[in-house]
Structure 1
Amino acid sequence: MASSLTKDTAVQGNSPVPGGKTFFGHPRGLAPLFLTEMWERFSYYGMRALLVVYLIAGGPDAKPDSQGGGLAMPEASSVAIYSAYVGMVYLLAMPGGWFGDRVWGPRKTVAIAAGIIMAGHLALAVPGKPTFFAGLALVAIGSGLLKANISTMVGHLYDGPQDPRRDGGFTIFYIGVNVGAFAAPLVIGTVGQKVNWHLGFSIAALGMGLGLIIFLLGTRHLSPVSSVVPKPLTAEERKSTLVKALLWFAVAAAFYGVVAGTGHFTQKWATIPLALLGVAIPIAVLTRIKRDKELTAGEQTKVSGYIWFFVAAAVFWMIFDQAGSTMSTFAEKKTADNVFGIDFPSTWFQSVNPLWVMAIAPIFASMWLWLARRDREPSTTVKFSMAMVGIGASFFVFAIPMSMASDGTKVTPAWLLMIYMIQTMGELCLSPVGLSLTTKMAPQKYASQMMGVWFLAVTAGDCTMTLLTEGGVDLNGTGVILAQAAAATLAGFAVWMYRKRIEGLMGDVR
């Protein structure tokens, strides 16, 4: 699970007045932000756990004895939609941060975002394809608006980056992410998969509604800076931005109007353009930053080094995010759903990763600290290499139960538990390290924007999966699984072999 966005703010020194009640020793405003993020992640991961199994339900690729009432889509189309959707959530984090910085301010942006997310889940709760895809779009937009800004407000609670409580505050905040992600499949997944799909989506809307209420009630405990628009648009900029947005909207509406009017519209007319944007935009953004002549020679060199990590992260997330697609359908159709006489829905497997995160993260944190005291902590480059080899190893293991189930045999859930454990260890070597690395290697001019750039690696990875799926690649083939495993492992070894060169590009960052 990709970490929540942490973004430093340029405005400090306006944190809430010390004293009075605290939240585990931290500013009281951390509590409503913690709970808002927890409920937002509850709604997001609950819906995500249902997404692919709902899309295939009632169709030829559904589990024979499963609940009907879904959209009866082919598995390949469902995986393409899922990957494009996840990619868009992370792509929209960049304009979401822009709205917080230039239009509404973080606090207002989060409130609006929560309302949009809730409306999206309510739309998903209404049967029918049009409302379903409208709901997906609303949830993606709302999540993009919320992701950057709520983390920014956590930073506002502290007196600058040097506040000794700051890292601990973000750690507590991240616990909220995992608590919500763990509980969601158990509640929303069970209700949606075993009772009624749309009731499950309704519970996701209820979760976001609770988060919005908590946020609005807790705003009095937040820093006043959270209500400020850091760099508001001028009247001229506002007009120019609106005209450009309307122009692009008109072009898209006219184009798709012609496609639909001539009877040529299919799902691919939506997923493929989105996926191409999801790959092209990260390349364009990194190219623009790299070619910026205002950067110093040292900053240019660091950007060159950063591109290595970005590409590695894109490959990592391309495999990791298949937990909700390829591995989800494998859990649904080819994995035993009974342990010790207890039946459970396949969506429960989506709770395994956050459970492993909560179990293993403290061990990894202690291990890095223990090694650092002995001056033996692996460098960032080596940690990335370990993550890539780990995610590759997880799919080498995945190929075993996939081969075992090829004749219709259902494999033990222990296989998926082990695969998720390996992937989680890789995640802990890459995700928090990548966030920290981004803050250290970001050029001063792009200090805030670079955190959004980091999340574009998720977009690039997921959108690549969409393009592969729409191109006819069968992700359920053992050969394709092994090819992905080999690609990730080779990328990990490449990072390790060229570590000296990469570290040379990183300058003083380790």
Structure 2
Amino acid sequence: MANQQHQILGHPRGLFLLFGTELWERFSYYAMRAILVLYLTDTTLNGGLGWTTKEALDLYGIYTGLVYITPMLGGWLADNYLGQRRSIMIGGTLMAIGQFTLALPADMLGLSTVHSFYLGLALLITGNGLFKPNISTMVGDLYNEGDNRRDGAFTIFYMGINLGALLAGVVSGSVTNSFGWKAGFVAAGIGMIVSLVMQMTMAQSWLGNIGREPAVKRDLKLKKSDKKEPLTKSEMNRIKVILVMSLFTIVFWAGFEQAGGLMNIYTQQYTDRMIGGFEVPAAWFQSLNPFFIITLAPILAVLWVKLGKHEPNSPKKFAFAMFFLALGFLCMVGAVMEQGGDTAVKTSMLWLVGAFFFHTLGELCLSPIGLSLVTKLAPLRLASLMMGAWFGCNAIANYVAGYVGSHVGELGAFAIFSGIAVTAIISGVVLLLFANTLVRWMHGAESPVSQAEPIEQPQTQIA
């Protein structure tokens, strides 16, 4: 049993174990993702697969889509059969094997190079489906209903995700340049092993029985029943809130994900990236988002707790996210206006820095808050499944982002950037108008209780 009285920075120490576990898992994921398309399109002479850019991007889209969809299945398995902690261990093991499968010479596995590559991706997708929804759900299990530290906890947890992402690009890129593509996959595999070792050696003392028992079984024990009961009216209302808020996350991410597409192209082609005699590589601007998250997340985490009873509710935080997204795209509108219709004019890079700054503030008001919201509202027996469904919205948003960005040739950057800004503002206003209704449907889940008592874990040890 974990001693939940042990705290770090005002939070149960189990949060920081989950922070570290997720940090190294995300390091593994992003280290592999950073080199995936480059590996596919590199010549076979240099150790790549020699695919065309279209073939590589098509596979990349399928891979990232499956990564966001499989958590629904992984969440369901955890809720009903495996439990969250066992799902994390199985998923992490599959991902580690997948990374090393990509790294090993295909003939060692008795497969062709392409078949070995597909096997590695399949293991990564399957493992991610088991890991991703359950690590997030366990963060919520550290806190009682009404504990106002929960949003701050997810903001800290979210910082771990982005610290892993920031380290991944640097490490993966460095070892790949020095030792080749396979070394990059090995680095990703080692990161996953570090994540697994942390869970294996520290979970019982830092987490106790959190995540050991399937949620359905735990729910039946709490209700002293031997069969599943129909969802109550309040549970249905809470699920409605999750679904409504999910729609707004699609709007947000469809705009936000322009960073890797249309904004990336704009950076490359139309931004003055010269500092003295040095030209800043366009890819470096992609590091602004994780940098701002790491610097701003602790500030917001403290702010949410300090506000106490005056802390904005989740719908209002989502509205702030939409307004920050709009401000970011207004910066991009400013960049386009600076060109004055002349595509030969290079615009100031400060417009991009401003856009990434505001987008990151929006992300911190929405993404960790959304993860926290699901753990507050989802019925216990559906907790991981609903978390998986929440991640599934990212798959839809990524598709919408690509569809919108692909029309830049017809509509122009000004129309797309301003259109996203207007859509975000309207969405934020709608959220503010219906915030009280949504909070009412939550049936008290957001009633602030400062420094609520830690969760008492069952005394029974589960084998």
Question: Shorter-chain TM-score: what band?
Answer: 0.7 to 0.9
Do structure 1's residue 203 and structure 2's residue 187 form an aligned pair?
A: yes
Aligned to 2:324: 390
CA distance in 1, matches of 2:320, 2:148: 30
CA contact (8 A) 2:69 2:391 kept: yes
Q: Percent identity?
A: 35
1:155-177 deviation line (CA, Å, top 9, x unaligned): 55x47446787666555443322
Moved more, 406-415 or 307-316: 406-415
CA 1:320 to 1:169, structure 2 compared with 1: closer, same or farther past 3 Å?
A: closer
Aligned to 2:136: 151
Q: 1:47 aligns with which of 18, 32, 53?
A: 32
Q: 1:352 aligns with which of 266, 284, 288?
A: 288
CA 1:433 to 1:155, structure 2 compared with 1: closer, same or farther past 3 Å?
A: closer
CA distance in 1, matches of 2:193, 2:126: 16
Structure 2: segments with no counterpart, 5+ residues: 106-112, 218-228, 447-463
CA 1:432 to 1:140, structure 2 compared with 1: closer, same or farther past 3 Å?
A: same
Q: 2:415 aligns with which of 452, 459, 482?
A: 482
Q: 1:73 aligns with which of 52, 59, 73?
A: 52
Do structure 1's residue 113 and structure 2's residue 87 form an aligned pair?
A: no
Residue 486 of structure 1 deviates from its aligned partner by 0.9
1:190-242 deviation line (CA, Å, top 9, x unaligned): 4436763332232112211222223223244241354334447xxxxxxxxxx
Do structure 1's residue 449 and structure 2's residue 427 form an aligned pair?
A: no
1:467-478 → structure 2 map (5 Å cutoff): 468=403, 473=406
Q: 2:101 aligns with which of 113, 123, 143?
A: 123
CA distance in 2, matches of 1:117, 1:422: 33
1:33-81 deviation line (CA, Å, top 9, x unaligned): 332211111111222333445455569xxxxxxx994644335x55554
Moved more, 107-116 or 316-325: 316-325
CA contact (8 A) 2:156 2:301 kept: no
CA distance in 2, matches of 1:483, 1:319: 10
Aligned to 1:290: none
CA distance in 2, matches of 1:25, 1:432: 18
CA distance in 1, matches of 2:427, 2:156: 35
CA contact (8 A) 2:271 2:347 kept: yes
CA distance in 2, matches of 1:196, 1:414: 35
Q: 1:435 aligns with which of 371, 379, 382?
A: 371
Aligned to 1:263: none
CA contact (8 A) 2:19 2:160 kept: yes
Residue 296 of structure 1 deviates from its aligned partner by 5.3
Residue 357 of structure 1 deviates from its aligned partner by 1.1
Q: 1:174 aligns with which of 158, 183, 187?
A: 158
1:370-449 → structure 2 map (5 Å cutoff): 380-395=314-329, 397-398=331-332, 414-442=350-378, 446=382, 449=385
Do structure 1's residue 87 and structure 2's residue 65 form an aligned pair?
A: yes
1:393-425 deviation line (CA, Å, top 9, x unaligned): 434544676896996887765454333212101
CA contact (8 A) 2:165 2:290 kept: yes
CA 1:119 to 1:324, structure 2 compared with 1: closer, same or farther past 3 Å?
A: farther
Aligned AA for 2:294?
Answer: M
Aligned to 2:399: 463
CA 1:113 to 1:298, structure 2 compared with 1: closer, same or farther past 3 Å?
A: closer
Aligned to 2:249: 313
Do structure 1's residue 16 and structure 2's residue 12 form an aligned pair?
A: no
Aligned AA for 1:197?
Answer: W
Moved more, 42-51 or 121-130: 121-130
SS of the residue corresponding to residue 228 of structure 1 reads coil
Q: 2:19 aligns with which of 31, 34, 46?
A: 34
Aligned to 1:323: 259
Residue 461 of structure 1 deviates from its aligned partner by 0.9
1:98-109 → structure 2 map (5 Å cutoff): 98-109=76-87
Aligned AA for 1:115?
Answer: T
1:449-478 deviation line (CA, Å, top 9, x unaligned): 333332222122123446x39xx9456776
Aligned AA for 2:415?
Answer: L
Residue 145 of structure 1 deviates from its aligned partner by 1.0
Normalized against structure 1, the TM-score is what? 0.66
CA distance in 2, matches of 1:79, 1:368: 40
Q: 1:224 aligns with which of 206, 209, 212?
A: 209
CA distance in 1, matches of 2:246, 2:377: 12
Residue 427 of structure 1 deviates from its aligned partner by 0.9
Aligned to 1:261: none
Aligned AA for 1:228?
Answer: E
Aligned AA for 2:422?
Answer: T
SS of the residue corresponding to residue 82 of structure 2 reads coil
Higher relative contact order (CA 8 A, sep 6+): 2
CA 1:296 to 1:310, structure 2 compared with 1: closer, same or farther past 3 Å?
A: same
Residue 97 of structure 1 deviates from its aligned partner by 1.9
CA contact (8 A) 2:85 2:212 kept: yes
CA contact (8 A) 1:42 1:184 kept: yes
Residue 85 of structure 1 deviates from its aligned partner by 2.8
CA contact (8 A) 2:95 2:127 kept: yes
Aligned AA for 1:390?
Answer: F
CA contact (8 A) 1:124 1:201 kept: yes
SS of the residue corresponding to residue 16 of structure 1 reads coil
Residue 349 of structure 1 deviates from its aligned partner by 3.6
CA distance in 1, matches of 2:151, 2:325: 27
CA contact (8 A) 2:216 2:380 kept: no
CA distance in 2, matches of 1:22, 1:364: 19
CA contact (8 A) 1:397 1:419 kept: yes
Normalized against structure 2, the TM-score is what? 0.72
Aligned to 1:255: none
CA distance in 2, matches of 1:190, 1:328: 22
Aligned to 2:120: 135
